Chains A and B, each alone.
Chain A
Amino acid sequence: MSVTNLLENWSDFRHKHPVEDVPHDPYKWAMSIDMDACTGCNACSVACYAENNLPVVGKEKYAHGQAMHWIRIERYWPEDDREFPDQGAQFLPMMCQQCEAAPCETVCPVGATNHTADGLNSQIYNRCIGSRYCSANCPFKVRYFNWYDYPTTENVWPAEMVQQLNPDITLRSKGVMEKCTFCIQRIRAGERSVKNEGRILRDGEVQTACQQVCPTNAITFGNLIDPDSKVHQKWKAQRVELDVDEQVKDKEEGGSELRGYRILEELRPYPSVMYMERVRESAI
């Protein structure tokens, strides 16, 4: 295989999901985030600390870029030369995009990160050897490495605070990569609970912690292949499709009236998170 051939026919060679012989069934977890609703309040991030046993690393380690926030709010300013940001700031909740063709997966030397049948990018802690290739290859910079053994680090979880830890989640030790899981413990618990009833999860039966707490309901999470799910309907209304790298919005006439897009789509990671553009009033 020549490099020319590889580059010219990249999309044929590129491993991506869903592929026809292994379709996502019955679940494909996805999100939609409405940035006209997001206020940047950070409630989602705190919820994630509470739900997923994220360590508070402290000022010094934060300065070294070792913060462990699986979901963070990025703040952008308008890029013109106006003296004041007179249309406000722009907030963007950023977490693992659970890419269908995840760049992190292909570089893991031990297969610690790989794709699940329900469309999640999973991280197997006890297989991870800490090469950090995945983090280097992640275009969204949403993978977080345990540089320290936080459970035994002073003042991270002092004796009393240990009792707050969520028993559904393991504590990660030194040398392991971690990231947003779409609250997989909630998904799995939900799946088990409906299994006895012989059915699959309905929309809204599983919420991620960030979605549950969001005061403005900016985050929608659900099963993308369930036509009754909100997330399916939102993706459909915005005409965003999972397995293409250019959406109607950008390529067709009239598409500009839509708001849905995926970040860094041109890199073809096929993210499972659709963002909806922030709107600013034109009359004022």
Chain B
Amino acid sequence: MIDNDFDRRDFLKVLGWGGATVALTGCGFTSVEDGKETVVSYVEAADYVAPGISVYFNSTCAQCDAGCSISGRVREGRVLKLEGNPDSVINRGKMCGLGQAGVQHHYNPDRVREPLLRNGDKGETITWEKAYALIAEKLNGVSGDQVDFLTGTVSGHLKVLLGNYLDSLSSKNHFVYEAVSPAVQRAANLKSYGMEMPHFNINKAKVVLSFGADFLGAWISPVHFAQQYADFRKGVDGQRGVLVQVESKMTLTGANADRWLVVRPGTEGILAMGVINALGAAGLHLPANVAAAVKDYDKERVSKDTGVSTEHLVKLAAILKERTPSLVLLGSAAEGYAHGSENAAAINLLNQVLGNVGKTVEASNAVPFPQIAPATGNSSALRLANNRLADGQCKVLFTYATNPIFTAPAEMKFKDNMAKAGFKVAFAHYLDETALQADLVLPLDSALEDWGTVVAEYQPDGVQIGVQQPLMEKLHPNTRGMGDILLALIKQRRAEEYKSFDDYYAYLRTALLNNKKEFAEAGIEDDIFWNDLLSNGIINVGGNPNKLVSKVATDFQLPAPVERDKQYPFNLIPSVTASLRDGRHANQPWLQESPDPLTTIVWDSWVEIHPRKAAELGIVEGDILEVASKNGAIRVQAYLFPGIHPDAVSIPLGRGHDALGRYAKGYGVNPFQILDRVFDKETGELAMHETLVKISKVGNRVIVVKDEGPAGGQQAGRKIAVSVSSDQVDLSEEV
């Protein structure tokens, strides 16, 4: 049994949570017979532990920012499996593969276990006391303006503490960076709808037209949207919902579309304008300014610019006009250009013209406590932080939940710039690329060992605060929770104000109890309130609806499609996959071995190229290609993929680590590294789809490791997976 001086066990008991203390008492291949462990009698088992009986505890998933509530199966003090919490309005008892792999984050053999201090090229184990003292020493004599925090998305009370700590340092430099984020869309939505993230009610729409929004895969809150999608397919008033997906590279959502329309990269906005024009031609009333704005987008021109046939354009307008309400979505594929904001404006305009605002685009609720509302990430924050590092303005850098050395384009020289900061502290679960460059690495508890509150950006119904609580005793005695670390650090500056909080748990409990009247009926006892809260794993607070507006704006200019560059003839599409996202969880073996749904490839990267283009260039599957941009080149196996525009090639993000751990290091390539530094003009976001590349064969060929057999997805005439046209079935009689 693990003992540590930390008194968590005592307060676990207070909560009736003592069960977790039996963790690590046995079971495994090194067993009692070997004499390596002590037999612990279950005659006097701790509370909530009955040998052989599983108990479920609710918490919140930390694998992405969607904030799904989870229910962990705990037996004999060990967490075995994560399942969905049915009471959560976000995920209603369901989960994705990424979320379930959370146990492999917790049990990962490559977690950092001790505080490490740089000594030359090596990390030397030091004590927490020494680590804290070192931070205090390094902050001494540094002005607040010289201290930067670079983090991923943070919310809840961790955000409050982080803010207070920065405040105690007189620093305003908190940069929230997410390599993959809907930042352009947030800005566009704020303009069009008056809020960054309205509700998108897929389940109320009869037609969904999605411009590259991979809502079944990796977009915003995929488990929630997948459930809406299931309702949408069953239909509103018995009419099965129709999904049309517009993009240059097929996403998982595109693969589920009734009609997948491939467009020339970057022309999504033009197509949206063309649809508005076609709607006008089909008799839909357009406001005068809109009619004027789209008058040049006749179907012939739009068809020529985008590559979508006039026939499909007309059919699309017809179905949108006939079946209302519809819903138009906008995703990373449309956002990722220098004119991403203009694309977004055109697509939102289509929603407004169709009258969807107020029907399928509805007001979301504002988080009633702005301090705990999420600080959402984007990539322009990285640019700011990077500039400060380059100019030597940052002396002490803290990083948390972000890995910029892996996710920043090499051209930004983040690694070199980071070296200019005098003292770098990484709060880390793994020794990832960024932690390896730090001077001090502080090991964090896993999400299944830590306390916290999580507020997701996308809130489908009211506002749900996710409660995160330990599902078991800590696996490694010398890791600490991020909240505990921040509390220890803030006590260095403001001991008096925080002295009553022994740890982050005490802080959190006090904070929530102080606001009890907001969450629960009047007069409820503290302990009952608190136990209910832990048992539910969620707190539902209503929150007032944001004010939904529909500001029709036509003051944007879409650029004409660019001519193909002769030297760099392809657009590189760095695709975001549902299981690997920006790569922070690549060391979880279930995710590495979970085949990419579209190519069925495992454990490696690939470059997708259209079969026609491949034939022109003499490329076959498995050829190693050099994919070169102006800023670098990577070598990767070719996969012939019919779901991509012939002018584009696509490489998935998330692999290509040279650190992180045994299941990630050395597998695949990292396309982040070769991205061009092109930014959306309006928001300053990195335009992820603007990189131009050339490809060449390097000569060797490998066998692509994938699940798909040699038949390559063909059924050879047998009835295995069958499709039927909607006019041939009667869905109304189905159960």
Interface string of B85-105 (1 = CB under 8 A from A): 000000101111100110110
The reply to whether A259 and B662 contact each other, CB–CB distance below 8 Å, is: no
Q: Chain B interface: which of A17-25, A71-79, A104-112, A122-130?
A: A71-79
B3 at the interface (CB under 8 A from A): no
Contacts of B260 in A (CB 8 A): 84-88
The reply to whether A85 and B230 contact each other, CB–CB distance below 8 Å, is: no
The reply to whether A43 and B96 contact each other, CB–CB distance below 8 Å, is: yes
A49 at the interface (CB under 8 A from B): yes
Distance (whole angstroms) from the CB of A238 to the closest CB of chain B: 8
A284 at the interface (CB under 8 A from B): yes
A36 CA to B724 CA, complexed, in Å: 10
A67 at the interface (CB under 8 A from B): yes
Contacts of A59 in B (CB 8 A): 602-604, 667, 705
The reply to whether B723 and A90 contact each other, CB–CB distance below 8 Å, is: yes
Q: Chain A interface: which of B23-31, B131-139, B546-554?
A: B23-31
A51 at the interface (CB under 8 A from B): yes
The reply to whether B602 and A62 contact each other, CB–CB distance below 8 Å, is: yes
Distance (whole angstroms) from the CB of A266 to the closest CB of chain B: 9
Contacts of B662 in A (CB 8 A): 155
The reply to whether B254 and A88 contact each other, CB–CB distance below 8 Å, is: yes
Contacts of B226 in A (CB 8 A): 39, 41, 215-216
Contacts of B603 in A (CB 8 A): 58-59, 62
B385 at the interface (CB under 8 A from A): no
Distance (whole angstroms) from the CB of A139 to the closest CB of chain B: 10
B527 at the interface (CB under 8 A from A): no
Contacts of A161 in B (CB 8 A): 104, 107-109
The reply to whether B604 and A279 contact each other, CB–CB distance below 8 Å, is: no
A233 at the interface (CB under 8 A from B): yes
Query: Could you say which of A47, A91, A280, A281 contacts B597, with CB atoms under 8 Å apart?
Result: A91
A88 CA to B210 CA, complexed, in Å: 14
Task: Identify the interface centre among B223, B233, B244, B723: most chain A CB within 10 Å of its CB.
Answer: B723
Q: Chain A interface: which of B362-370, B495-503, B710-718?
A: B710-718
A54 CA to B590 CA, complexed, in Å: 10
B261 at the interface (CB under 8 A from A): yes
B340 at the interface (CB under 8 A from A): no
The reply to whether B602 and A42 contact each other, CB–CB distance below 8 Å, is: no
Query: Could you say which of B108, B714, B719 contacts A77, with CB atoms under 8 Å apart?
Result: B714
The reply to whether B29 and A151 contact each other, CB–CB distance below 8 Å, is: yes
B interface residues, how many (CB within 8 angstroms): 106
Distance (whole angstroms) from the CB of B599 to the closest CB of chain A: 8
Distance (whole angstroms) from the CB of A175 to the closest CB of chain B: 18
Interface string of B559-590 (1 = CB under 8 A from A): 00000000000000000001100000000011
Distance (whole angstroms) from the CB of B59 to the closest CB of chain A: 16
The reply to whether A77 and B642 contact each other, CB–CB distance below 8 Å, is: yes
A164 CA to B594 CA, complexed, in Å: 18
A234 CA to B252 CA, complexed, in Å: 27
Number of residue pairs A-B, CB distance < 8 angstroms: 284
A115 at the interface (CB under 8 A from B): no
Distance (whole angstroms) from the CB of B108 to the closest CB of chain A: 7
B593 at the interface (CB under 8 A from A): yes
A78 CA to B728 CA, complexed, in Å: 18
B288 at the interface (CB under 8 A from A): no
Interface string of A197-213 (1 = CB under 8 A from B): 00000000000000011
What residue in chain A is nearest B229 (Cβ atoms)? A216
A162 CA to B31 CA, complexed, in Å: 12
Of residues 29 through 76 on chain A, the ones whose CB sits less than 8 Å from some CB of chain B are 35-37, 39-43, 45-47, 49-51, 56-59, 62-63, 67, 69, 72-76
B295 at the interface (CB under 8 A from A): no
A5 at the interface (CB under 8 A from B): no
A257 at the interface (CB under 8 A from B): yes
What residue in chain A is nearest B226 (Cβ atoms)? A215
A256 at the interface (CB under 8 A from B): yes
What residue in chain A is nearest B109 (Cβ atoms)? A158
B257 at the interface (CB under 8 A from A): yes
Distance (whole angstroms) from the CB of A82 to the closest CB of chain B: 8
A205 CA to B318 CA, complexed, in Å: 46
The reply to whether A257 and B730 contact each other, CB–CB distance below 8 Å, is: yes
The reply to whether A284 and B643 contact each other, CB–CB distance below 8 Å, is: no
The reply to whether B726 and A40 contact each other, CB–CB distance below 8 Å, is: no
Contacts of B725 in A (CB 8 A): 279-282
Q: Chain A interface: which of B73-81, B157-165, B535-543, B629-637?
A: B73-81
The reply to whether B597 and A76 contact each other, CB–CB distance below 8 Å, is: no
B652 at the interface (CB under 8 A from A): no
The reply to whether B593 and A56 contact each other, CB–CB distance below 8 Å, is: yes
Contacts of B319 in A (CB 8 A): 283-284
Interface string of B319-345 (1 = CB under 8 A from A): 100000000000000000000000000
Distance (whole angstroms) from the CB of B543 to the closest CB of chain A: 25
The reply to whether A279 and B240 contact each other, CB–CB distance below 8 Å, is: yes
Distance (whole angstroms) from the CB of B218 to the closest CB of chain A: 10
A23 CA to B357 CA, complexed, in Å: 57
Contacts of B453 in A (CB 8 A): none
What residue in chain A is nearest B734 (Cβ atoms)? A237
B279 at the interface (CB under 8 A from A): no
Distance (whole angstroms) from the CB of B662 to the closest CB of chain A: 6
Contacts of B579 in A (CB 8 A): 42
The reply to whether A46 and B109 contact each other, CB–CB distance below 8 Å, is: no
Given A63-B703, A67-B707, A89-B250, verify A279-B80 contact (CB < 8 Å).
no
Interface string of A240-284 (1 = CB under 8 A from B): 000000000000000011110101100000000001011111111
Given A67-B593, A166-B81, A237-B733, verify A74-B229 contact (CB < 8 Å).
no
Known: A83-B612, A91-B256, A212-B93. 16 other contacts (CB 8 A): A56-B592, A75-B597, A75-B713, A76-B713, A79-B715, A84-B260, A86-B262, A89-B250, A89-B255, A165-B80, A261-B719, A279-B233, A279-B731, A280-B724, A280-B725, A284-B315
23 contacting pairs across A/B (C-beta < 8 A):
A35-B721, A41-B226, A45-B97, A47-B95, A59-B604, A59-B667, A74-B708, A75-B597, A77-B714, A79-B714, A83-B612, A85-B643, A163-B24, A213-B83, A213-B94, A215-B226, A216-B226, A217-B230, A237-B733, A277-B723, A281-B725, A281-B726, A284-B244
